[in-house]
Chain A
Amino acid sequence: MVSGSEIERHDTDILILGTGGAGLFAALHAQQSAPEGTRITIAVKGLIGKCGCTRMVQGGYNVALGGGDTVERHFMDTINGGKWLPNQDMAWRLCKEAVVRIHELENEIGCFFDRNEDGTLHQKAFAGQTADRTVHKGDLTGIEIINRLMEQVLARPVEKLEEHRAIGLIPSRDGAAISGVLMIDMRSGKFRFVRAKTVLMATGGGPTMYKYHTPSGDKTMDGLAMALRAGLPLRDMEMVQFHPTGLLAGEHTRMTGTVLEEGLRGAGGQLVNHAGNRFMFDYDDKGERATRDVVSRGIFAEMRKNNDPTQEGVFISMGHLGPDNVRKKFKGMVKRCEDCGFDLAAGKVEVVPTAHYFMGGVVVDVDTRTSLEGLYVAGEDAGGAHGSNRLGGNGVANSTVYGGIAGDIMGADIRNMASLREPDETVLASEISRAVHPFSREPGLVLPLRKELQEAMWEDVGVMRTATGMNRGLAKIADISDRLMETGVSGDNLAFNLTWHDWLNLRSLCDVSQVIAQAGMARENSRGAHYREDFPDAGDMADSYFTQARQTGDGVEVTREPVQFTIVKPGETILPKDEPETLVAAE
């Protein structure tokens, strides 16, 4: 068994967990704002900039850059899209600061975004936007952003801990602040405890506890599971965004669940059911062009009507737009489908709604501070900016804006933090025993349990929910969780032991799944991504509440907190009176 002496101890000043848009921006801004000589360390579960989801952004970056569009309009779209649940101060700062951040990305980081004929930035409109607002680099925007950020961080004297998995937020002895983070150096399998004056958690969300999911394979909600154990309040935990068109290629391939981009439907792609008929107009006047949540529910409903066991999903069909045209316009998507044996340009490809983004997260203030001194949270790990639904293009804006803010704030706050804090050794020991638990049990297969969890979440806590279903889901989660504790992993060689990490991944997913189901039970109405068949109404906007979950002893307690309309009240707008409803030209 591992004892305390086998932990390597390491000190730094500013510790950043995660190397997506939030983590990398935090590292750069911390370096700019912290006093000279400040040690900055960045740790990541995979390789810097390579794992995580910022890199996977296809669509682009929402930012109001004139031409009639304003920060106010971007803000109103974000509030309307989030169905009045967003923390308005966070949403406002997101929209306002995005203007600075996009200039930083182009001018200082070196990104190059697509241009108009006149040399200015090209912007397009996604569903739910009232202006052409999304800056992009083809349909591979995330690669451009993360490659350029990664280079900047690699070239700077920032300490890098790659393939270091964070497993516990360790408080100080008096519990009043954070002391540091317990990690596993995945390459050696050894524990490393890193003390820091300030810690940014930017590990990304990634709801991979669903049968179909889009995020990167390393994403397993470790951040929120750690925050839960540290006693931090989490908000909007019922809000899981499903992307309507995930690739369906069979259970045995990791390709299943990956996204076929939104633009396919925008360009006129048709969704066809098992009987060969288009169906989206049965659900919404906008047909296939309706927002993600609406299309996901339409597909899910069609799937339930189908009794043919050989066909699970529905089909996306592009051929009527001309195969050559499709090949040209969606080169990357066509090639991706082709590589796994599907003809997107002329044939039809089976698709299914797929868990994409997690709106819920740690409760933070507009400066990314949490209720635990020294701990900051940014990006998908933080809740509040998107409310019940995130608009396409607001995700990478959120992570880069708040990552930068976290870097600035940590660089400033650290000036008032004289010394590192001694850890609560009891918590440290209990986090280690939690991690080594599987070595004390007979080795078994972890994967079948993960599949069971994914099936349970998809069936009972998924696109459409009921109290009966979620209660059933909770029972299944508890059972899977118990069986995981009896499933062992051989501890003979811990170096790069993926099976141990599969176990820890599933541990995080079980913990967070329970909170999703409980928060889903607590919200007895239907807003944005959360749809209750037994409570289909949205409820009165003026009485909007958000859910807040917190670990208490062995259980999780969920409360309802009133939304504070600090900037605009439901039914009102901050746009001038004569402003048109939308600036987007009708198609």
Chain B
Amino acid sequence: MDQKDNTLKVTVSRGTSGEQFEQEFEVPAYENQTVLDVVSWIQQNSDPTLSYRFACRVGMCGSCAMMVNGEPRWTCRTHVKKVVRKNTLSIAPLRNLPVVKDLAADMTPFFDKWVDAEGYHHPTRTRHDPMQEVTPNDEERNRANAGIECINCAVCYAACDTVANNDAYLGPAALQRAWTLYNDQKNENGQAILDAVSRDGGCHSCHSMGSCSLYCPNELDPMSAIAGLKRETAKNLFRRRR
């Protein structure tokens, strides 16, 4: 390998929302190198002022997602080899969110919408009651299980063009959480969920373009979850009119 092959040319987005600019860095290439390692190398060796966010290092926390060559990805689990083009990489903060600084996005709107979609458990039992028995082949439960491994990394939210064009849209992750809870027989507020996801910016804003399901690093399928909500909210409307 000649020297050129041993160096990555990395374009990094700097600054805060409204005042962003691009900066180039040369980073040594290694075996077993992730995009997070590239970003870390720049901060640790080249420019100590570079800001970014990470925590678990292994795809469990969803803190380190960024735009890599224009696509949202977990940087900790993205091998450079998989995404590098002619020894170049471009790295930017997650799309569709405000930028705190450089590569760190402000995830507040994402989590506010999670709560707005009623994305939290509404209990039917207390700690003093026995646990609900649920058999593994329970159909409702299997529908709930489909989306349960979401780690709220906001990759789907960044991938979604509807989010990009509609500030009010709850987005794929929050809606998928709502669908999971709607199918969870332990959860009480079925009607509240349907109401929350029927409002402006709810599930009917989705145009089923499918970027969420395409980019989900956990191979979940928010688009189908949203389709489920669309069906149930339509049925619900019909029931109410009757």
CB-contacts of A74-121 with B (<8 A): 100-101, 103-104, 106-110, 112, 115-121
Closest Cβ neighbor of A490 among chain B residues: B48
CB-contacts of B37-52 with A (<8 A): 37, 40-41, 43-45, 48-52
Given A47-B63, A155-B115, A255-B32, does the pair A495, B101 have CB atoms closer than 8 Å?
A: yes
23 contacts between A and B (CB under 8 A): A47-B63, A47-B107, A50-B61, A51-B61, A103-B130, A112-B148, A115-B136, A121-B131, A143-B60, A148-B121, A151-B119, A151-B120, A154-B111, A249-B32, A250-B30, A254-B40, A339-B59, A339-B79, A445-B45, A447-B45, A496-B101, A497-B49, A499-B44
A154 touches B114 (CB 8 A): yes
The reply on B69 being an interface residue by CB < 8 A is no
The reply on A340 being an interface residue by CB < 8 A is yes
- Distance (Å) between the CB of B37 and the closest chain A CB? 5
**Interface class of chain B by DSSP:** loop
A499 touches B48 (CB 8 A): yes
From the candidates B30, B76, B134, name the one contacting A252 in the complex (CB within 8 A).
Answer: B30
The reply on A361 being an interface residue by CB < 8 A is no
CB-contacts of B211-234 with A (<8 A): none
**CA of A336 to CA of B57 in the docked complex: distance in angstroms?**
11
The reply on A307 being an interface residue by CB < 8 A is no
A140 touches B51 (CB 8 A): no
Closest Cβ neighbor of B32 among chain A residues: A249
Given A50-B61, A117-B135, A119-B133, does the pair A493, B31 have CB atoms closer than 8 Å?
A: no
From the candidates A55, A107, A155, name the one contacting B126 in the complex (CB within 8 A).
Answer: A107
- A interface, size bucket: 35 or more
The total number of A-B Cβ pairs within 8 Å is 192
The reply on B36 being an interface residue by CB < 8 A is yes
Q: Chain A: residues with CB nearer than 8 A to chain B?
A: 46-48, 50-52, 55-56, 100-101, 103-104, 106-110, 112, 115-121, 137, 140, 142-144, 147-148, 151-152, 154-155, 187, 216-218, 249-250, 252-255, 258, 336, 339-341, 443, 445-447, 489-490, 492-493, 495-499, 502
**CA of A250 to CA of B48 in the docked complex: distance in angstroms?**
22
B41 touches A154 (CB 8 A): no
- B interface, size bucket: 35 or more
B61 touches A258 (CB 8 A): no
- Distance (Å) between the CB of B202 and the closest chain A CB? 18
A46 touches B60 (CB 8 A): no
B56, B81, B135 interface centre (most CB from chain A within 10 Å): B56
**CA of A445 to CA of B40 in the docked complex: distance in angstroms?**
13
Given A118-B135, A144-B148, A499-B48, does the pair A187, B101 have CB atoms closer than 8 Å?
A: yes
Contact partners of B123 in chain A: CB under 8 A: 107-108, 110
The reply on B207 being an interface residue by CB < 8 A is no
The reply on B104 being an interface residue by CB < 8 A is yes
Closest Cβ neighbor of A218 among chain B residues: B55
**CA of A317 to CA of B126 in the docked complex: distance in angstroms?**
45
A217 touches B56 (CB 8 A): yes
Given A250-B32, A490-B48, does the pair A216, B79 have CB atoms closer than 8 Å?
A: no
